[in-house]
Structure 1
Amino acid sequence: MLTQTTSRVLEPSDLDAALAVLDRDPVANAFVTARVQVAGLDPWRLGGEMWGWYEDGMLTSLCYAGANLVPICAGPRAVRAFADRARRAGRRCSSIVGPAESTAALWRLLEPHWGPARDIRAHQPLMVTDRMPDGIAPDPYVRRVRKDELETIMPACVAMFTEEVGVSPLAGDGGLLYQARVAELVGSGRAFARLDDQGRVMFKAEIGAATARACQIQGVWVAPEYRGQGLAAPGMAAVLRYALTDVAPVASLYVNDYNTPARRTYQRVGFQEIGAFMSVLF
């Protein structure tokens, strides 16, 4: 038992305490919670370290340090401790992402050492719903992507990622990690799409993180030639039906504040803003 305010890398034996911290905000923490529930705290399985901040011997804050740097339930002192550890370790992540207030504070401390960032998205509304929308029928043609359709869905996933993030997910390792992630979502039944008569993707989305309490929808995309035809809201309603029926009682997502059409679509489907994320992209 630690008896002072300090930070350290958590070990597998710290799992229950870490899950208790994550459970304080099951919606905002869904991404990290889902990874921890599957992989535990072993860095090799988790894909990164989990840092913990202790006050009076109690674990009160976390920071996931993997492909993303994610502060969790982190107040000012915890943020400073995590920034010090991140600065000493050097930048290994491709982004810093998390609740806007703590992420902004973390970036202020790291920017002199890690900056400049490629892009900063300072306000990304976090939206949730726990019910199906009134007046918008789910698109009956949106369905789960089959395992033998991975090659069909992959170009749409790459296009969405490149459009959203500004770089191709195929860079670096040739896309091996990204393709493995898409294959994982397809294999677990959490990738959804509507195809046209030629077998091309018209609309797609995935449930990227899932716990017993909340899930997170991501990768929402309409093919450019089908935009403006009213596919997005019924498509989202279809994905939401799968999410609420088969996955978790609450569905969430976060969106760039400047993406007015997407925000309007999510509001039509019943999502309500409850907070904000921030992303710093390298």
Structure 2
Amino acid sequence: MTLRRTTLDGRSGGRVLRDVDVAAALAVCAQDPVGSVLATTRLEHASTAGLRAAGGQLWGFSRDGVLVAVCWVGANLVPVVPEGAERAQDALDAFATLGRSAGRRCSSIVGAADVVLELWSRLRPAWPAAREVRDDQPSMVIDHDPLIDADPQVRRSRPEEYETVLPACIRMFTEEVGYSPASGPGGPYEVRVRSLVAQGRSFVRVEPDPGAGGRPRVIFKAELGAVGGGVAQVQGVWVPPDRRGERLSEAGMAAVVAATRRDVAPVVSLYANSYNTRALAAYRAVGFRRVGTYATVLF
């Protein structure tokens, strides 16, 4: 993504940050590791490879020369304004000014609900209409062993299973967002799925499909979509419609939590739509507890 560089008062306003600012930006995110994990995962990459290689741009808001809020600008716009941050409203004003100048290039605004919704209220008059605003998405965490037994058949996806995993990922995305992300073998979504499999951040349970001559079929899947700051955020939890009601997601998530806490990060998080009561009940059964609220503005 290429955005026109716009700079405001660097002492007390918002500006486009540089590689030298990444450490300070990570310190801002560390004030709310769960709420900021989507930004932190990009910034940790940027800390070693640079912001350009991390795939986006970083905005910051300073007060008396101290960075107090940041906003990751990539495929998603992720504002991070820690609770109690001095002049939080000024930070949102600054980010909105930068956003209006750059124009909308992102597919969503996502993060802590109060911050996302206030930023969107400032951008809405200047940006194209949102396709959907999801303003109540419980943010949940677990930092202990699962409360129920893990499904022993849930494991990390194998690279050679990519062609089996991809259709399940596309179905999940289409059900959740309302359109297919597929764009061909080298498309960004396909590359993303392949990368998660290669990194060991894709989990599946696979069984033979009697209706398709015994071909392998995914009956549970989940990914670690963001990992940073000691937090791993689970995304893309899915069970095919004909297998729902069998408690596959509960035992499957228990397996994901156990493996993630053992190998990746001590805290596992996720967020879901408030109306998805069945999923929220399953997560609570595993041991997740609510710690906040996310919101997503979809374009």
Q: Distance in 1 between matches of 2:119 and 2:222?
A: 30
Asked whether the 8 Å contact 1:6–1:53 carries over to 2, the reply is yes
Q: Distance in 1 between matches of 2:28 and 2:250?
A: 34
* Matching residue's letter, 1:163: E
TM-score normalised over the length of structure 2:
0.90
Q: Distance in 2 between matches of 1:84 and 1:7?
A: 9
Change (3 A) 1:212 1:112: closer
Task: Please tell me whether residue 109 in structure 1 is matched to residue 122 in structure 2.
Answer: yes
Change (3 A) 1:224 1:38: same
Gaps of 5+ in 2: 1-8, 83-87, 209-213
1:5-27 CA distance string (max 9 Å, x none): 11111111112111111111111
Counterpart residue number, 1:96: 109
1:77-96 CA distance string (max 9 Å, x none): 10111011101111101111
Counterpart residue number, 1:14: 21
Q: Distance in 2 between matches of 1:69 and 1:269?
A: 30
**Aligned partner of 2:273 among 253, 256, 260:** 256
How far did 1:44 drift? Answer: 2.4
Change (3 A) 1:48 1:160: same
Pairs within 5 Å for 1:1-282 = 4-40=11-47, 42-73=50-81, 75-134=88-147, 136-171=148-183, 176-197=187-208, 198=214, 199-211=216-228, 213-282=230-299
Secondary structure at 1:169 match in 2: coil
* Matching residue's letter, 1:149: E
Q: Which shows bigger deviation, 174-183 or 17-26?
A: 174-183
* Matching residue's letter, 1:271: F
Gaps of 5+ in 1: none
Secondary structure at 2:189 match in 1: helix
Secondary structure at 2:125 match in 1: helix
* Matching residue's letter, 1:131: H
Q: Distance in 2 between matches of 1:231 and 1:104?
A: 34
Q: Distance in 2 between matches of 1:43 and 1:140?
A: 39
TM-score normalised over the length of structure 1:
0.95
Change (3 A) 1:258 1:174: farther
* Matching residue's letter, 1:98: G
Asked whether the 8 Å contact 1:207–1:215 carries over to 2, the reply is yes
RMSD: 1.6
Change (3 A) 1:174 1:78: farther
Q: Distance in 2 between matches of 1:219 and 1:281?
A: 16
Asked whether the 8 Å contact 1:169–1:175 carries over to 2, the reply is no
1:83-126 CA distance string (max 9 Å, x none): 11101111101111110001110111111111421011001010
Asked whether the 8 Å contact 1:76–1:102 carries over to 2, the reply is no
* Matching residue's letter, 1:179: E
Secondary structure at 1:141 match in 2: coil
Asked whether the 8 Å contact 1:124–1:277 carries over to 2, the reply is yes
Asked whether the 8 Å contact 2:146–2:258 carries over to 1, the reply is no
Q: Which shows bigger deviation, 152-161 or 70-79?
A: 70-79
How far did 1:39 drift? Answer: 2.6
How far did 1:166 drift? Answer: 1.2
1:38-71 CA distance string (max 9 Å, x none): 1338442121110010100001000111111111
How far did 1:212 drift? Answer: 5.1
* Matching residue's letter, 1:272: R
Q: Distance in 1 between matches of 2:60 and 2:249?
A: 40
Q: Distance in 2 between matches of 1:274 and 1:235?
A: 22
How far did 1:175 drift? Answer: 6.5
Count of matched residue pairs:
279
Q: Distance in 1 between matches of 2:10 and 2:40?
A: 26
Asked whether the 8 Å contact 1:99–1:277 carries over to 2, the reply is yes
Asked whether the 8 Å contact 2:168–2:218 carries over to 1, the reply is yes
How far did 1:133 drift? Answer: 2.6
Asked whether the 8 Å contact 1:125–1:276 carries over to 2, the reply is yes
Q: Distance in 2 between matches of 1:231 and 1:165?
A: 22
* Matching residue's letter, 1:140: P
